[in-house]
Structure 1
């Protein structure tokens, strides 16, 4: 049996403040740190041994992975960071309070921006302090590749080639893999491995800091079971249709 653990980072400061975060590199709250430590306890209790880890370029996901690996005493495993696993870029919405944005633009429009599959938010202006070109961690990436406002569809188009090329081979080789990432980059992976239709995937939520344990048949991506390890904070999962 091959095991894949997907974990959304613990609560961030902008999660707490109800702000659109996206590519902005905000840290964990004390609660977020505690969620990552609790995730480690859950994984350790089941005796899961990991072979490799993956995360984004964003410190909320990186620190969640660090804290989890420290808690299970497996900090020695190889870890790869790649910006392609970053959160969806929320464009000009970055930094805005979600409720204030609803008050200004209306609930329906904000719902479309947040929960449609293929409608992107307004693009971020190049002069904005939140434009990715102003962040030194992306200086080696061609500017035309950096997103300035993504729909979930666009996020999938960024995340899934990396997942298929760099992570799937580990799974098919029988390695146990942990991916610490973000709500929308993990939605992209969930959509792929569970074959979720476009119109259904926006409805699946990843609770912060709660490991999703997915068991697969050896040498394949065929899922035999999937569950959130903290049952008290579990969210709905797609049906396991490929058992």
Structure 2
């Protein structure tokens, strides 16, 4: 029986600093590297060996994937990077300290920006410090100015259905190293979670989530590999 494994990147520098990150490219902290290594070691210990991998265009997810695969003895497997697995774009909040933003705009407003299903944060100003429109990795890609969770789902799920689901159906054990909100999109779809409930789902860093797969189809509820 094959499996689908989801892992949120290890702690990033801006996770540590409590800043809105979104599409901005931030590396892992030493703790994040350790979380990624532990995830790979756990996969190896449990015999949960991926045969193909997918990740985003963002360093923290890519490095989590590579560290985990190295620890699992699977660094050689095929991997695919795609921007549609990127984190949700936090628009004009990108780079801001979350506590300071709450003090300035009010906790209720920041909670809406962070946790509502379909209300995006303020848009990012063109030409600002965190404008990625001239980043070479996004050449020809429609970089958003801001995204709600709903917007994120609307780019993640078509990619999953077109690129990842056929690999699962072919019997491969797939590992996806991505982000809190792009993984929320997948968990919402795979576990049938409502729009209201998904906004409260927390996905911890570096903890592999497993969906059993039978006959090419997700066949059971998710579980954390550490608990399985």
Q: TM-score, normalised by structure 1?
A: 0.91
* 1:97-137 residue CA offsets vs partner (Å, 9 max, x unmatched): 00000000001000000000000000001021211203221
1:184 equivalent to 2:181? Answer: yes
Instruction: Tell me, in whole angstroms, the C-alpha distance in 2 between the residues paired with 1:230 and 1:132.
Output: 37
Query: Is the partner of 2:223 in helix, strand or coil?
Result: strand
1:155 equivalent to 2:155? Answer: no
How do 1:1-243 and structure 2 match up within 5 A? 1-141=1-141, 145-223=142-220, 225-231=221-227
Instruction: Tell me, in whole angstroms, the C-alpha distance in 2 between the residues paired with 1:200 and 1:190.
Output: 11
Asked if the contact 1:14–1:21 (Cα under 8 Å) also holds between the matched residues in 2, the reply is yes
Runs of 4+ in 1 over 3 A off after TM superposition: none
Shift of 1:189: 0.5
Instruction: Tell me, in whole angstroms, the C-alpha distance in 1 between the residues paired with 2:174 and 2:149.
Output: 24
Instruction: Tell me, in whole angstroms, the C-alpha distance in 2 between the residues paired with 1:134 and 1:29.
Output: 26
Query: Is the partner of 1:166 in helix, strand or coil?
Result: helix
- Uncovered stretches (5+) of structure 1, i.e. residues with no partner: 235-243
Instruction: Tell me, in whole angstroms, the C-alpha distance in 2 between the residues paired with 1:39 and 1:219.
Output: 24
Instruction: Tell me, in whole angstroms, the C-alpha distance in 2 between the residues paired with 1:128 and 1:6.
Output: 33
Instruction: Tell me, in whole angstroms, the C-alpha distance in 2 between the residues paired with 1:170 and 1:195.
Output: 21
Instruction: Tell me, in whole angstroms, the C-alpha distance in 2 between the residues paired with 1:86 and 1:151.
Output: 13
* 1:50-82 residue CA offsets vs partner (Å, 9 max, x unmatched): 110000000000000000110111111100000
- Uncovered stretches (5+) of structure 2, i.e. residues with no partner: none
